[in-house]
Structure 1
Amino acid sequence: MTTRDLTLQDFEQAVSGDGIVLVDYWAAWCGPCRMFAPIFEQASERHPDIVFAKVDTEAERELAAMAQITSIPTLMVFRDGIGIFSQAGALPPTALESLIEQVRALDMDAVKTEIETAIESGAEGGERG
């Protein structure tokens, strides 16, 4: 599977569904972005069950701002509609593969329970006072 370009119009739909979505925020003028691009593309070919998407931060400035991108390349990972990873900097191939393995191994029921607990704790904490 090859990478796909995301825009403000289709971003939410792309990252909110079931499965794993990796999003590479990049720009044509960015040297590290150009170095990471073939690594990202090769990983997309090895993992056809994962969506590999790219956001051109120059063309999609509003989307980059909404994602609070301050440095590129930035890689974000979503699983089952939940943002679970965000890191600036180009990853070497072995680090990207390791990240993918870790994302696959996540117990998403446990992640969802942890999020719900944090939200409930935050709501209870906000009522005190």
Structure 2
Amino acid sequence: MIVNIKEIESENIDLAMKKSDKIIIDFFTKWCPSCRMVAMNLEEFEENHPEVLIIQIDAGEYKTLTDLYKVKTAPTLLFFKNGNYLDRHQGFIEAEEIASVFENNE
């Protein structure tokens, strides 16, 4: 499931992490071409992995969250499993590479 941060409210990220085993947080900007390509790859990934919650956060609108997660560039993906941080990826990433992050941390 892909949700925009506005749909769950920024305060509820911790709650979402407790309810979902696998989470990807996608920090993007509206003007970034790589962000749009990553968003398409996340949609493709989500079709095959509906159990993963994907939270999309506009880095330009949510400075507090970009600071909290130390995001310096967009796109940045943060991967969590069972509430624990797994990995971070900055820049373009293919759908297969997204899946491999969870597969490599089973």
Using structure 2 for the length normalisation, give the TM-score: 0.86
Runs of 4 or more off by more than 3 Å in structure 1? none
1:50-106: per-residue Cα shift (whole Å, max 9, x none)?
111111111211111111100110010111111111121111122122223223x2x
Counterpart CA distance in 2 for 1:80 and 1:18 is 7
The structure where helix makes up a greater share of residues is: 1
RMSD of aligned Cα (Å)? 1.5
2:57 corresponds to which residue? 55
Segments of 5+ residues of structure 1 without an aligned counterpart are 106-129
Instruction: Indicate if the aligned counterparts of 1:16 and 1:82 stay in contact, CA closer than 8 A.
Output: no
Query: 1:5-44 maps to which residues of 2 (within 5 A)?
Result: 5-6=4-5, 7-44=9-46
Structure 2: state its 5+ residue gaps: none
Query: What is residue 97 of structure 1 aligned with on the other side?
Result: 99
User: Structure 1: which amino acid aligns with 2:94?
Assistant: P
Note if contact 2:20-2:53 (Cα within 8 Å) is conserved in structure 1: no
Higher Cα radius of gyration: 1
Q: Which is strand-richer, 1 or 2?
A: 2
1:82 partnered with 2:84 = yes
State the shift of 1:8 in Å. Answer: 2.2
Percent same amino acid at aligned positions?
22
What is the Cα deviation at residue 17 of structure 1?
A: 4.1
Asked if structure 1 preserves the Cα contact closer than 8 Å seen for 2:20 and 2:52, the reply is no
Higher relative contact order by CA 8 Å / sep ≥ 6: 1 or 2? Answer: 2
Return closer, same or farther for 1:84/1:100 CA change in 2, 3 Å cut-off: closer
